[in-house]
Structures are given as structure tokens and as C-alpha cells.
């Protein structure tokens, strides 16, 4: 596997603990080549490589074996922190190992404990608080006593069933190794990928192996630490290991992806962070890329410019549209759905799968196939009590019109329910007739007009855009709905990918457009300024040749980060 001089120097690095700081691309390649050479150059000793996802672990294993040969497979263990800890516990459990809860089972148990002890707190906040407790070696008291009751009840339920969750795996492994009740893995070398994403428990798991004599190699970039909300320690975690194990730090400062002017602005931005390793990031490339900053009147004008720019380019131009939140990306997805380019939404739900989008498309499907679910969801959206809709759905049978007529007879007349049901009954008959005559556009307008009377101003605005998008599509109403439901796997390679800045980490594209660069959004009010600055830095360094950053005047002031990057 061919390496550049800087990567070669990192692979050759030695010492009991080595930290490879890689602000450029190629971290996984460096780690896999280092692992392959350690196995090939030593006849004895086992090597363990750890990362954060199963997909990443499988890729790392295949790269290592491709470089050193299958003969060394028996001396190689590759997995996630959790899979390695589980294997450790099973090996030294001395009996039947604990049963591991699936994510669905975990949330179901938590839900029951939440309902019993803390229904006054949002369930999402309860989950976050318990996850935060389990990412710490030393428990921190909860801010609310009822959270303590949920946690204790949750742990008692799992203990009574002989079960544990993923977070418990690492905590149990660390506590048993620290107390001498279980030895560390019998390995000579331990290599860690994306080390900036380790939390406190994962850092301690690494340290325990280092103290037991394993040679440690960490590969990471503190400037790409994006998961503080998942309790990642970032630079602090790398620094802790460096101090405790007297690590040798080798920096790979050359970026092989970005045009030099794009990288220069990104480096200028990230230099404003104080809590980071000092490094001078340089570009290997010499050609000049394109950078533009756009200030649009409003969000829809912003996405109109995205569409116009993409349509002016070549048919196979590769684009990534990035934003801080999925809500902002909804507007981009809608605008791009009408162009003749393959597009795919990565990570978050499509705009057609939530909120007014799912109600609109669901009611249209009921027009086409006489299914009750879409119509029932529309009734609930229009203000008819969900409990009444559910009860009627269980008690009535037949096609949609028959069930609506039954519902009209049973509906209370004191809250406008009967009027809504009558309107929908009349509308459904008319929409079916128009659909049978091939007048898809009339049906789309009719259904949108019906729903608009029940929308908030923001929902009504989005509904109009959804309506326009469907009207622009070719084919019958059924064919247009089929296009919406088609999975991205069945499309040809997407020329345009739509994703959040978080989801873009580790990827690269010829052209990158970062939208929504406004104060309060980027940096977002829900995070720290340094975390948000790292997020924009990662987004900017996804671009090979062209980078465009845009904002909307109606949404607020342009982000201070543009000024910090020298892009005012």
C-alpha cells in the first residue's frame, strides 16, 4: 500500500505509546499499514485494533489482512469497544454471561421506568441523562432525584433478568480489570482509530491495557471531535493518555484532499479554538479552488440558488449539500427533488417522512389505493382526537368512504369533528374521480387546499413547496408517489448528497455547499462555540475543488465564523 512521506514516518513511529495526529486525510490507511507491518515483522504477539462501528471495524480488518496476508489472521482481533469488552467478559465470566439487551429492549425498559418514576421529565432527557451517567467512571449525582429513581429502577430490572446494556459492558470490563478480577486482553499491540471520539470509560479501558504492557497507537484529529454531546473527550482524552503513558506524538500536517485556498480558510477558522493541539496544517495540492459566500434574502431564495448552480454544471458533477440541522435540509431536499439529477438524503428522515410531508403523501396514497392509515393520520392532523380516531379505526371496516360515513354518524358535533369528516368525505370522492381521469395535478392541489386550513403558518409554507414539488413530477399520481417511496439504494449513484455536517465526517466531495450559516444556527445555541467551530471546519474540509457557504438575511446575521475564516 503506497504511502506519502508523512504517513510513512507515522507508520515507522515507535514507543510504548504513540499518538498520530492526522489533520489531513488517510487516518485509517496509516493505522492499517502500521498494524500490517507490526504483524508481518514480528513472529509472535497478538494485535488488537479498535474503532467505533462494526462497519469501520470490518473495513479496518480487511485493509490490515490485505496488506499483511491471511496467514496473520489468527493473531489479529478487530472490533468495536463494546464487542471486545463483551468477548472479554464472556471469557472470564466463570459461568453464564449476562444477556445483552438490544437497543429496542433497552428503550422499552427505560420507558417503563420513566413512566413510573419521572413522567414529568421529557423521555429524551431521561435517556440522555442516563447515557451521560454511564459514560463516566465516577457517578455524578443527577440534577433531579426522580432521575435517580429511574436509573435505579432500570438497573434493578436488568439485574433481575441477568441482563445489561452496551454501556454496562465497558463499565463492567473497566471495573473488573481495575480491581484485578479480570485481566486485560492478552495482546502485545493495541491500535485505536478515531481516538478523539473516546469517552471517559473508553479512555480508561485503553489506559488499563497500556499499564499492563501493551504498546498503544492512537490515530485521531482533535479538530474533528464532533461528539461532545455523546460525551467524547476530544483533545482532553488524547492529552490524558499522552500524559499517563508518556506518549510520543507524531503529527501528519499535510492535507491531500483540499485545494490550498479552501484549506487555508478552514485552518484560519479552527485556529480560533484554544483547546486544541498546536499544528500547522498545509495543503499538498497547488491548484486553486473556488470559494464563494452568498447572502440570500430568505431560505427559499437560498435553496433556489443551490438549484440554479447545480443545474448550470455538468450532469455528473458531484455535490454535497450540508447544513447544521435536518430541518434546514428539508428545504434543500424539496427544491432539489424537481431537478433532473439523482439526489439522496443521507442520515436524517426525508421531508416526506415526517410532519406535514407524511400527512400530505399519506392522504394522497389513500386516494390512490383506498388505504385507511393515511386518511386516519390526516384526521388526527386536522384536530380530531387521536384516541377517537384509533378507537374508530379498530371498530369500523370497509373502504375509506364507507368508514368515513360510519365515522360521521358517530362523530360528536360540538368540536367541529363532524364538519371536518364531511369535508373529507366530499373531497375524497372528488379526488378519486379526478385521479381516475388522469388529472393528478388537480388531485394534488385539492388535497393540499384541504390540509392547508389546518396548518400553522410554517406548515402551510412547507405544504405549498411540497405541492409544487409533486406538481413538477411526471406521471400519474400513483407513479409520483412511487418516486417518493423509492429507496436511494435503487437509484443510480447520486450526484447530489444531502446531509448534516455531523454526517459528512469522513467523506469528501468535489463540490460542497454549506447552507444556513447564520448566528444562532451555526454556531448553534445548543452547543459550545468550540464544538460548533470544529463542525464547520469539518464541513469546509470535505470540499476538494469548490466550496460555497450561504446564509439567509431573514434568518438572522451571518455567522461570525465566516469572519473568523477570512470569508466576510
Binding residues: 21-28
Q: Please, how many CA atoms are within 13 Å of residue 306, restricted to the half-sphere of its CB?
A: 37
Q: What DSSP designation does 494 have?
A: P
- Residues 294/548, Cβ–Cβ less than 8 Å: yes
CA 138/CA 531 separation, integer angstroms: 24
Angle ∠(531,535,539) on CA atoms, nearest 5 = 170
d(Cα 561, Cα 567) in Å, to the nearest integer?
8
Query: Which H, E and C letters describe 33-47, residue by residue?
Result: HHHHHHHHHCCCCCE
Indicate the Cα dihedral angle 17, 23, 27, 29, nearest 10°.
Answer: -120
A 10 A CB-CB count for 70 gives: 9
Q: How far apart are the first and last CA of the chain?
A: 42
The DSSP result for 141-178, as a single string, is --SSHHHHHHHHHHHHHHHHTTEE-HHHHHHHHHHHHH
Distance CA 41, CA 25 (A): 26
Spatial distance between the Cα atoms of 125 and 521, rounded to a whole number of angstroms: 21
**Helix, strand, coil % (nearest 5) of the chain?**
55, 15, 30
- 462-477 b/e with 16+ CB inside 10 Å = b? bbebbbebbeebeeeb
Contacts of 176 (CB under 8 A, 6+ apart): 89, 92, 182
Measured in degrees and rounded to the nearest 5, phi and psi for residue 294 equal: -120, 135
* 493 to 334, 335, 490: CA distances (angstroms): 19, 19, 9
Closest Cα partner for 536 from 521, 546, 525?
521
Nearest to 380 by CA among 367, 363, 365: 363
Residues annotated as binding site for ATP?
Answer: 21-28
How far, CA to CA in Å, does 312 sit from each of 293, 306, 492, 495?
18, 10, 20, 14
Amino acid at each position: 500500500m503506497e504511502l506519502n512521506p508523512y504517513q510513512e514516518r507515522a507508520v515507522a513511529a515507535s514507543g510504548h505509546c504513540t499518538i498520530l495526529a492526522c489533520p489531513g486525510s488517510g487516518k485509517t490507511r496509516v493505522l492499517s499499514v502500521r498494524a500490517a507491518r507490526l504483524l508481518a515483522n514480528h513472529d509472535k504477539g497478538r494485535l488488537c485494533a479498535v474503532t467505533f462501528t462494526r462497519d469501520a471495524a470490518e473495513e479496518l480488518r480487511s485493509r490490515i489482512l490485505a496488506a499483511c496476508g491471511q496467514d496473520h489472521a489468527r493473531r489479529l482481533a478487530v472490533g468495536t469497544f463494546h464487542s471486545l469488552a463483551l468477548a472479554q467478559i464472556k471469557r472470564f465470566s466463570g459461568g453464564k454471561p449476562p444477556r445483552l439487551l438490544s437497543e429496542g429492549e433497552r428503550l422499552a425498559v427505560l420507558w417503563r421506568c420513566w413512566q413510573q418514576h419521572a413522567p414529568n421529565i421529557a423521555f429524551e432527557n431521561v435517556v440522555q441523562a442516563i447515557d451521560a451517567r454511564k459514560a463516566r467512571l465516577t457517578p455524578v449525582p443527577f440534577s433531579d432525584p426522580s432521575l435517580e429513581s429511574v436509573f435505579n429502577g432500570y438497573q434493578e430490572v436488568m439485574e433481575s433478568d441477568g441482563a445489561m446494556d452496551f454501556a454496562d459492558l465497558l463499565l463492567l470490563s473497566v471495573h473488573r480489570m481495575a480491581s484485578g478480577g479480570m485481566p486485560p486482553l492478552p495482546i502485545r499491540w493495541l491500535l485505536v482509530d478515531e481516538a478523539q471520539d473516546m469517552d471517559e470509560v473508553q479512555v480508561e479501558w485503553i489506559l488499563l491495557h497500556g499499564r499492563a504492557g501493551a504498546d498503544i497507537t492512537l490515530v485521531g484529529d482533535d479538530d474533528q471531535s464532533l461528539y461532545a454531546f455523546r460525551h467524547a473527550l476530544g483533545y482532553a482524552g488524547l492529552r490524558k493518555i499522552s500524559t499517563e503513558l508518556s506518549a510520543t506524538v507524531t503529527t501528519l500536517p499535510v492535507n491531500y484532499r483540499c485545494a490550498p485556498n479552501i484549506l487555508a480558510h478552514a485552518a484560519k477558522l479552527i485556529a480560533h479554538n484554544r483547546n486544541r493541539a498546536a499544528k500547522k496544517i498545509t495543503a499538498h495540492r497547488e491548484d486553486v479552488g473556488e470559494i464563494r459566500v452568498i447572502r440570500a434574502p430568505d431560505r427559499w431564495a437560498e435553496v433556489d440558488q443551490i438549484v440554479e448552480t447545480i443545474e448550470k454544471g455538468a450532469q455528473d458533477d458531484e455535490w454535497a449539500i450540508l447544513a447544521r440541522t435536518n430541518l434546514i435540509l428539508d428545504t434543500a431536499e424539496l427544491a432539489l427533488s424537481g431537478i433532473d439529477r439523482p439526489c439522496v438524503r443521507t442520515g436524517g428522515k426525508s421531508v416526506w417522512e415526517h410532519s406535514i410531508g407524511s400527512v400530505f403523501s399519506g392522504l394522497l396514497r389513500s386516494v390512490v389505493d383506498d388505504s385507511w392509515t393515511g386518511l386516519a393520520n390526516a384526521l388526527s392532523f386536522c384536530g380530531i382526537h387521536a384516541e377517537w380516531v384509533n378507537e374508530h379505526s379498530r371498530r369500523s371496516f370497509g373502504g375509506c368512504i364507507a368508514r368515513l360515513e360510519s365515522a360521521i354518524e358517530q362523530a360528536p358535533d360540538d368540536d367541529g369533528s363532524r364538519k371536518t369528516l364531511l369535508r373529507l368525505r366530499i373531497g375524497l370522492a372528488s379526488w378519486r374521480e379526478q385521479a381516475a381521469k388522469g388529472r393528478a395535478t388537480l388531485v394534488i392541489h385539492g388535497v393540499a387546499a384541504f390540509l392547508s386550513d389546518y396548518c400553522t403558518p410554517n406548515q402551510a409554507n412547507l405544504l405549498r413547496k411540497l405541492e409544487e414539488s409533486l406538481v413538477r413530477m411526471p406521471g400519474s399520481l400513483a407513479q409520483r408517489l412511487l418516486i417518493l417511496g423509492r429507496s436511494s439504494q435503487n437509484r443510480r449513484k447520486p450526484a447530489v448528497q444531502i446531509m448534516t455536517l455531523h454526517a459528512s465526517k469522513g467523506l469528501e466531495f468535489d463540490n460542497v455547499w454549506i447552507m444556513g450559516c447564520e448566528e444562532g444556527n451555526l454556531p448553534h445555541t445548543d452547543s459550545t462555540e468550540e464544538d460548533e467551530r470544529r463542525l464547520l471546519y469539518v464541513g469546509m474540509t470535505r470540499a476538494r475543488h469548490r466550496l460555497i457557504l450561504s446564509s439567509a438575511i431573514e434568518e438572522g446575521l451571518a455567522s461570525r465564523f465566516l469572519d473568523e475564516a477570512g470569508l466576510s
